[in-house]
Amino acid sequence: MVVRKNISLESEHLKKLESLIEEHEGNLSAAIRDAIDITEVSLRRYGSVSEALSRIGAEKKELTGREESIESGRNIMMSTPIFIWMLKWTRGIPLDPEIFDELLDPLKIITISDLDKKINEISRESGWNCKVSLFCMDDINPTTATVSIAGDNELYREFVAQLVVMFLALNKGLDIDLVHRRATTVRIDLKSREKGAAPLAARKHFGYLKDTMNEFKSKEDFWRALIDVYSSVNYNMVSLYRGHYEELLSGNTPIDAGMFESISKKHIANIPHPDFLKLLKKVDEALMFIDKIEIMDNGINVYHNYKNEMAIQKIRDYYLSLLKANGHDYEAKYSTSLIVFNHVCCKG
């Protein structure tokens, strides 16, 4: 057989070879040799040109919705270590509602079954490897629901839980009732909340650091300086309300009612006594005025580390005055590290 070495190419053939020609910087001969090598491999595998074209076309992989979103630029790829780092350092800071709507569109997800299918699809395509199971009696307007999430990574489980639970909270009127944790699973029971009420339990569970971080960002220099001071002295510090400090400078035994009234938005005498005791514990332990307050059935125990007896007596008198301002009389006994207050009676 005589082989003709003259080659006749139409513009459509040159267009098909365009990428190979560019790779060889315009060298057509080199591009044709590459095309021949590719053809040889295809013929060896498929047997004929027609079969190769048919099989290769059929084997072309269709992009998933997530892959198409990455190609379009709507989503990005992120390495696992970076994503885990982000989840670790944003835990307790909730996603904005707009992000929930972007990921789980409430206009497209009408039923709980839709949500189950969509969140499992997202988890699978995103590589979170969390299996979500949703159970409820009413597929459209449930009054209760159970969300079970299984997966080896706790941070992934918590993130997926936030997506599912907040969708149910924002779009189905539910809120968290109970949370059950196991080594590789978490189960969250939800129930209906009162009409018009906010999903407080869900917001607290997933957004317990929201107010803290907002406050930190609003006065970042102040909080960084305060942290430096406290950490440098190993937290051997006491914080005082300004009015309290002024009374001390004046030589008086202060009744620090102003701070409690500011927090509770009530006059100290109008704060219910059980609520006042909880507030007293929260505030004074946070300010490190004392070490610990233990609320008992009929009194409170105040633990401290003061050594000077006069100082201990002043602390005793301070608490007796504060409790009396709330409308309750107490008796007190003290030792080197503990002051015991026993409830005597109350006004009215």
Per-residue pLDDT reduced to its tens digit, 231-264: 998 988 888 777 777 777 777 766 667 788 888 8
More confident position, 78 or 272: 272
Give how far Cα 132 sits from Cα of 118, 151, 185, 290, Å. Answer: 10, 9, 10, 46
Average predicted confidence (pLDDT) for the chain: 87
In a domain, 233, yes or no: no
Q: Is 277 exposed, middle or buried (CB count within 10 Å of its CB: 0-12, 13-18, 19+)?
A: buried
Residue 138 lies in a domain: yes
In a domain, 83, yes or no: yes
With a CB cutoff of 8 Å and minimum separation 6, the contacts of 15 are none
Would residue 211 count as lying in a domain? no
Q: CB 117: neighbour CB atoms within 10 A?
A: 14
Whether pLDDT at 138 is above 60: yes
79 with 54, same domain: the answer is no
Whether residue 83 is found in the same domain as residue 161: yes
Do 89 and 46 share a structural domain?
no
The neighbour count for residue 181, using CB atoms within 10 Å, is 12
pLDDT band at 348 (very low <50, low <70, confident <90, very high): very low
CA nearest to 293, candidates 339, 346, 235, 224: 339
Does the structure show a pLDDT above 90 at 100?
A: no
- The reply to whether 79 and 200 lie within a common domain is yes
Return phi, psi of residue 138, to 5°.
-110, 120
**Shared domain check, 182 and 278:** no
The pLDDT of residue 61: 59
Residues 181 and 270 in one domain: no
Same-domain pairing of 80 and 53 = no
- Domain match, 197 and 255 both: no
| 183 falls within a domain | yes
Assigned domain for 215 exists: no
> Is the separation of the CB atoms in 166 and 138 below 8 Å?
no
Within a domain: residue 212?
no
Q: How confident is the model at residue 44 (pLDDT cuts 50, 70, 90)?
A: confident
Handedness of CA 124, 130, 134, 140 (dihedral sign): negative
Please check whether residues 189 and 296 belong to one and the same domain.
no
- Residue 71 CA, chain-centre distance (Å), reads 28
In the chain, the number of structural domains is 3
| 226 in a structural domain | no
Lowest-confidence segment of 19-28, 66-75, 197-206 by average pLDDT:
66-75
Expressed as residue numbers, the domain containing 156 is 75-206
- Within this chain, do residues 169 and 289 fall inside the same structural domain, yes or no? no
Residue with tokens 């400090």: 245
Q: How confident is the model at residue 116 (pLDDT cuts 50, 70, 90)?
A: very high
**Does one domain contain both 198 and 81?**
yes
- What pLDDT was estimated at residue 21? 80
> What is the rounded distance in angstroms from the CA atom of residue 323 to the CA atom of residue 268?
9
> How far, in whole angstroms, is CA 173 from its chain's centroid?
20
- C-alpha span between 124 and 92 (Å, rounded): 24
Residues 149, 35 share a domain: no
